[in-house]
Chain A
Amino acid sequence: MQDRPTAVELLVDIAELLEHDVMPALEGPVQHQVRVAGNLCRILSRELALGPPAAQRESELLSGLLGREPRPAAPVEQLNRMLVDRLRAGADEELEAAAWSVLVDVAKDKVAIAKPGYDSFDFRSEVEQ
């Protein structure tokens, strides 16, 4: 067991240092790079907390979609590869519709880490005329 601060706490500390102290002392492209680096620290802090349950859920959802037993779990990248291959294999609209629903859940978990709140807008006002 590592001592406090935790990894999540330290990443937030680094993000705050970059955003509050380093960025104002800079200008131009390097200021933008530091802003981006600060945001990446925040993404990583969320990934440490939310990543493992999200990967577990993704693995279960994809296994279910592909009709596989969730355990022993295949690596999640392999499951994604299998789904890509299945989608590519043919015009299976039923699979596509089921995949859409699963992939929305996976995408929401991904943006919860990459950009919280991004899924509060759902395009319904413009795709449903």
Chain B
Amino acid sequence: MSVLDDTVSGLERFLSKVWEGDVSVGGVSMASAGARRRNVLFEATAPDGSRVAAVATIIPTAGMQLMDIEVEASNLRLARAAGVPAPGVLAVCTDPAFVGGPFFVTERVEGETVPRRVLRLIDAHSGLGADLARQCGAAFARLHAVPVERAHPSLVGPGDRTPAAAALAQVERSLAALLQPSPVFELAFRWLARSQPSVGRGPVVIHSDFRNGNMIVGQDGLRAVLDWEGCHLGDAMADVSWMCVRMWRFGRDELEVGGFGHRTDLRAGYEEAGGRWDEDSFHWWKTLGTLRWGMGLAGQARAHLDGSFRSIVMAASGRRVAELEYDALMLLGAAYRGASVTSKP
């Protein structure tokens, strides 16, 4: 039997148990098979004969799990209850015996998820990019408005530090682990450490990876936000600025929001839905996100070189660090451009 056959019979056994009757599963296809999770599309026929188009998100090995599956499912429910478009959770299974790993089943939402296909859809519909940016802004604002005490108690937070201070401490550890000196990253770190956003708002529930590639988009715009395993308590501007870093624009650099929208639209959607936007903090977190991803790429190259994850793709990541260094320098341009001339005696 193939892996997919095993998955079908595992899903049938599990859903028959939770829905208390015979469930049959058909129309199965693999939507994506990443290293960390598999997404299997299927159609279930419930005991009462009704049909449900669904998706099973399966964590193949426990070592790849960033977050307990029940916590991730609770994030989806929390977001939906707050008015953030997220797929409805139908069932959660922590027992790896059914399909080879813990998983949850959600309603299937039709639309595009692959970034370049999302951008092509937007090209074909005038005004969709701006609408989508506004809808993303509203989705962020609704998530950030969730009372923190309603979130799952195991969500990680910054502790007694500010989110900015916690993020800086993590950056400093990554700097120390670099295989070669990077004055660019050091400079960015110095500027970030000196320019921390003013305290005044506490941590909120953030998605942390809501960007082009983790959302389902249709002709009407945003239909669902996916991949809630990185959800934690952090800074609101960290969340919105991550969607705006250059690598999520897929070559459409002039469109700051995911290659499809302008920041003014994202901000308008955020503020219309009651969010409080802070430009300085946004810029700070966008710079930090760029720096952090640059060091993440260096870390991938390190994992290849030290043998812990041999892969030509990870090796190539080392040669992408230069892009993030360039981006970081340009983001620091507002602070340093021209200063080298004017500050000299």
Within 8 A of A (CB), among B170-193: 180-184, 186-187, 190-191
Question: Which residue of B182, B190, B283, B320 contacts A96 across the interface (Cβ within 8 Å)?
Answer: B190
Residue of B nearest to A128 (CB): B334
> What 11 additional pairs, Cβ within 8 angstroms, besides A97-B343, A111-B322, A124-B333?
A40-B315, A43-B319, A87-B183, A94-B344, A100-B337, A104-B329, A110-B326, A122-B333, A123-B331, A127-B333, A127-B334
Question: Which residue of B181, B253, B263, B319 contacts A114 across the interface (Cβ within 8 Å)?
Answer: B319
In the assembled complex, A36 has its CB within 8 A of some CB on chain B: yes
CA distance A119 to B335 in the complex (A): 19
| Residues of B within 8 A of A (CB-CB), count | 42
Question: Which residue of B319, B323, B331, B340 contacts A101 across the interface (Cβ within 8 Å)?
Answer: B340
Q: Is the CB of A33 within 8 A of B313?
A: yes
List residues of B whose CB falls within 8 A of some A CB: 180-184, 186-187, 190-191, 194, 246, 253-254, 256, 263, 279, 283, 311-313, 315-316, 319-320, 322-323, 325-327, 329-337, 339-340, 343-344
CA distance A87 to B256 in the complex (A): 30
Q: Is the CB of A114 within 8 A of B182?
A: no
Range class of the A interface residue count: 35 or more
18 cross-chain CB contacts under 8 A: A36-B313, A43-B319, A80-B183, A96-B190, A99-B183, A99-B187, A100-B336, A100-B337, A103-B183, A103-B329, A107-B184, A107-B329, A114-B322, A123-B246, A123-B327, A123-B333, A124-B330, A127-B333
**Nearest CB on A from B130, distance (A):** 16
Q: Is the CB of A107 within 8 A of B340?
A: no
| Most chain B C-beta atoms within 10 Å of own C-beta, residue among A80, A84, A98, A123 | A123
